[in-house]
Amino acid sequence: MGWYFVTVCVAGRSECLGEVIINHVDLSPTGVIVEDELKRLPNRFEHIDVDAYQIMPDHVHAIVCLLDDSPHRVKFRAPGHVQRQSLAVAVNQFKGAVTKRVRRTIDPDFAWQRNYFERFIRHDRELLAIREYIVSNPLRWHFERTMGHTTPVP
The structural domains of the chain, ordered by start, are 2-71+83-147 (3.30.70.1290)
Helix locations, the chain, DSSP H:
29-44, 87-105, 124-147
Residue percentage of the chain with pLDDT more than 90: 71
pLDDT of residue 149: 53
pLDDT of residue 32: 98
**pLDDT > 80? residue 21:** yes
Among 8, 74, 68, 70, which Cα is nearest to 35's? 8
Distance from C-alpha of 101 to C-alpha of 134, rounded to nearest angstrom = 25
pLDDT of residue 117: 96
Distance from C-alpha of 63 to C-alpha of 53, rounded to nearest angstrom = 6
Task: Specify the pTM.
Answer: 0.84
CA 64 to chain centre: 9
Q: Are 112 and 11 in contact (CB under 8 A)?
A: yes
**pLDDT > 90? residue 152:** no
Q: Are 31 and 55 in contact (CB under 8 A)?
A: yes
pLDDT tier, 148 (very low <50, low <70, confident <90, very high otherwise): low
pLDDT of residue 69: 52
pLDDT of residue 78: 45
pLDDT of residue 134: 95
**pLDDT > 50? residue 77:** no
Residue 154 or residue 86, greater confidence = 86
Looking only at Cα atoms, what is the longest distance across the chain? 47
Among 113, 122, 143, 153, which Cα is nearest to 16's? 113
Q: What is the pLDDT of residues 116-134, one digit of tens each?
A: 999 999 999 999 999 999 9
pLDDT tier, 72 (very low <50, low <70, confident <90, very high otherwise): very low
The type of residue at 121 is: I
